[in-house]
């Protein structure tokens, strides 16, 4: 099916076209939307947003292909061997879900619900399993803690944490670019001074996205970097300050002390700003990413998660496990290496793409 997007300034324009236009092909659909006080800039931004969303869903479907094969493909094969609902089916389904990184807690809840539905007569045929599984996954993903209610006009600081190697610095660059495309004034703080390559890498992302960056030399005090970045954010009337941090997890005490110090500086120097702590996890590590989230959760309160490299793994089921066990919302997922491939996570869209 092909889509034509038409955006008009006046309602009369829409009515006139609706009266005179005849569609010659039944597969052609016209999407008409009225934008109040339309300007070329508004129209361009709106078209970009629509195309971006459509393009991202297709990228998500493609990016989840390995996970889909691992979960849905194996379940399809499993169901072919059963003609009735029985305990053997539930046991084998449970094993498949755990092997697909859905996690023990989430799997136990899903199977328990299916057993109850079978007992109540609401689950009668193996063919119903997939639709029930879809419902259960959506329910789990939608019942994690809701993210902070944020005022779009209020100044904001995002502190990015995570171990080295998960794509943390790259994620900072992509996130900054995303907000900048949304019209926000963004500033980066290179507070990962432990790894010299992190400063260079973040500088490269800043240059690519045409975003200012505050940085010191390798080995400098991360707190001093954040302090200077806050001063710059205030002076330049920045909407969003994003701080990269070191990812050392082998020494939890040092990391804890460093993160607490940075957070105290933000609270003291920028009390009027909203603060968000986002943990970056590598989806390809499966259950290891869940353990990382638990360890960081012991150190500091986490407001949300960013899952990278979803497109490169069959372990995308870890999204469900993390939501169920930690009750922390997944805020962003990465489905590619491009600067636009980090997108906001939506449970319904994610599951639709998985079952597509």
Q: Which residues contact 169 (CB under 8 A, 6 or more apart)?
A: 192, 198, 201, 202, 205, 244
Averaged over 23-33, what is the pLDDT? 40
Instruction: Give the CATH number of the domain where residue 207 resides.
Output: 3.40.50.300
CA distances from 156 to 3, 147, 279 (A): 37, 14, 17
Show which of 302, 318, 341 is a domain's final residue: 302
315 part of a folded domain? no
Same-domain status, 161 and 231: yes
The answer to which of 56-60, 62-66, 189-193, 217-221 has the lowest mean pLDDT is: 56-60
Residue 1 has pLDDT above 70, yes or no: no
Mean pLDDT, the chain, rounded, equals 83
Residue 308 lies in a domain: no
Query: Do residues 214 and 259 make contact, with C-beta atoms less than 8 angstroms apart?
Result: no
**Of the candidates 182, 197, 194, 273, the residue with the CA atom closest to the CA atom of residue 229:** 273
Task: Determine contact, residues 256/300, Cβ cutoff 8 Å.
Answer: yes
What stretch of H or E contains 164? none
Q: Quote the CA–CA distance of 353 and 69 in Å, as a whole number.
A: 12
pLDDT at 57: 81
Residue-wise DSSP of 93-141: HHHHHHHTT--HHHHHHHHHHHHHHHHHTS--SGGGHHHHHHHHHHHHH
**Cα gap 128→249, rounded to integer Å:** 44
The reported pLDDT for the residue numbered 24 is 42
Look at 351 and 50; give whichever has higher pLDDT.
351
Domain housing 84 = 65-142
User: Using CA atoms, how far apart are residues 20 and 12, in angstroms rounded to an integer?
Assistant: 12
* φ, ψ at 54 (rounded to 5°): -65, -45
Q: Are 86 and 185 contained in the same domain?
A: no
For residues 50 and 70, membership in a common domain is answered with no
211 burial (CB, 10 Å; 0-12 / 13-18 / 19+) is buried
What pLDDT, on the 0 to 100 scale, is given for residue 349? 92
Q: Are residues 188 and 202 in the same domain?
A: yes
121 shares a domain with 88: yes
Let me know: does 74 contact 81? Beta carbons within 8 Å.
Answer: no
Q: Is residue 329 part of a domain?
A: no
Q: Which of 119, 142, 165 is the last residue of a domain?
A: 142
Q: Is residue 137 part of a domain?
A: yes
Cα dihedral 296, 298, 299, 305 sign: positive
Averaged pLDDT for residues 322-339 = 88
pLDDT on residue 23? 40
Asked if residue 350 is part of any domain, the answer here is no
Report the pLDDT value the prediction gives residue 200, as an integer from 0 to 100: 94
Q: Quote the number of domains for the chain.
A: 3
Q: Is 35 inside any structural domain?
A: yes
Contact of 304 with 329, CB cutoff 8 Å: yes
- Sequence-distant (6+) residues with CB within 8 A of 157 are 230, 233, 240, 241, 242, 243, 266, 270, 273, 274, 275, 276
Strands (E), the chain: 2-8, 28-34, 156-161, 186-191, 212-214, 240-245, 274-282, 304-308, 330-334, 342-344
Query: Which carries the bigger pLDDT value, residue 189 or residue 51?
Result: 189
- Looking at residue 149, what is its pLDDT? 52
Q: Which of 139-143, 217-221, 281-285 has the least mean pLDDT?
A: 139-143
Query: Averaged over 324-342, what is the pLDDT?
Result: 87
Q: Is residue 194 domain-resident?
A: yes
- Contact (Cβ atoms closer than 8 angstroms) between residue 156 and residue 274: yes
Residues 291 and 237 reside in one and the same domain? yes
CA dist 200 and 228 (Å) reads 18
Whether residues 290 and 170 fall in one domain: yes
pLDDT for 42-87, tens place per residue?
444 444 444 455 577 888 888 888 899 999 999 999 999 999 999 9
**Distance of alpha carbon 167 from alpha carbon 177, whole angstroms:** 15
pLDDT at residue number 333: 92
Q: Determine the angle formed by the axes of helices 129-142 and 347-354, rounding to 10 degrees.
A: 150
Last residue of a domain, which of 40, 62, 84? Answer: 62
250 pLDDT band, cuts 50/70/90, is low
For 91-108, how does the pLDDT look when each residue is reduced to its tens digit (9 = 90+)? Answer: 999 999 999 999 999 999
In this structure, are 122 and 172 located in the same domain?
no
Instruction: Please list the helix, strand and coil fractions of the chain in percent, rounded to the nearest 5, in that order.
Output: 55, 15, 30
Q: What CATH number did the domain enclosing 107 receive?
A: 1.20.120.140
* 355: pLDDT strictly greater than 60: yes
State whether 285 and 215 are in the same domain. yes
Same domain for 190 and 73: no
Higher model confidence: residue 334 or residue 40? Answer: 334
Cβ neighbours of 88 (radius 10 Å): 11
Q: Are residues 15 and 115 in the same domain?
A: no
> Is 240 found in the same domain as 123?
no
Within-domain flag for 100:
yes
**Cβ burial, residue 236 (10 Å; 0-12/13-18/19+):** exposed
Structure tokens at 238: 């920045």
The answer to whether 74 touches 100, Cβ cutoff 8 Å, is yes
Q: How confident is the model at residue 336 (pLDDT cuts 50, 70, 90)?
A: confident
Say yes or no to pLDDT of 38 above 90: no
Number of residues that make up the chain? 356
pLDDT at 154 (0 to 100): 87
- Looking at per-residue confidence, does 299 or 234 come out higher? 234
CA nearest 306: which of 343, 332, 325?
332
pLDDT-derived band at 142 (thresholds 50, 70, 90) equals confident
């Amino acid at each position: 099916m092909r889509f034509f997007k038409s955006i008009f300034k006046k309602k009369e324009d829409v009515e006139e076209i609706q009266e005179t236009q005849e569609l010659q092909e039944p597969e052609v659909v016209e999407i008409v939307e009225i934008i109040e006080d339309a300007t070329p800039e508004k129209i361009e931004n709106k078209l970009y947003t629509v195309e971006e969303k459509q393009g991202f869903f297709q990228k998500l479907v493609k990016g989840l292909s390995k996970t889909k094969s691992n979960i849905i493909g194996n379940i399809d094969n499993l169901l072919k061997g059963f003609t009735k609902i029985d305990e053997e089916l539930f046991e084998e389904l449970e094993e498949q879900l755990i092997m697909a990184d859905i996690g023990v807690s989430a799997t136990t809840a899903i199977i328990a619900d299916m057993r109850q539905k079978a007992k109540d007569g609401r689950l009668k045929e193996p063919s119903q399993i997939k639709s029930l599984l879809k419902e259960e996954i959506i329910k789990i993903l939608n019942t994690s803690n809701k993210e902070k209610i944020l005022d779009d006009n209020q100044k904001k600081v995002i502190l990015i944490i995570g171990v080295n190697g998960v794509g943390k610095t790259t994620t900072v660059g992509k996130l900054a670019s995303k907000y900048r495309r949304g019209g926000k004034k963004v500033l980066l703080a290179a507070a990962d001074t432990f790894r010299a390559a992190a400063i260079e890498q973040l500088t490269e992302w800043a240059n690519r996205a045409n975003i200012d960056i505050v940085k010191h030399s390798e080995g400098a005090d991360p707190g001093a970097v954040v302090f200077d970045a806050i001063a710059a954010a205030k002076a330049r009337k920045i909407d969003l300050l994003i701080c990269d941090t070191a990812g050392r997890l082998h020494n939890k005490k040092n990391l804890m002390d460093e993160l607490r110090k940075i957070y105290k500086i933000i609270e003291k120097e920028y009390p009027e700003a909203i603060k968000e702590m986002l943990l970056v996890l590598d989806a390809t590590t499966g259950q290891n990413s869940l353990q990382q989230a638990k360890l960081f959760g012991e150190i500091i309160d986490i407001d949300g998660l960013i899952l990278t490299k979803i497109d490169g793994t069959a372990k995308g089921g870890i999204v469900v496990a993390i939501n169920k066990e930690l009750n922390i919302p997944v805020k962003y997922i990465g489905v590619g290496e491009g600067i636009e491939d980090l997108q906001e996570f939506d449970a319904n869209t994610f599951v639709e793409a998985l079952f597509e």
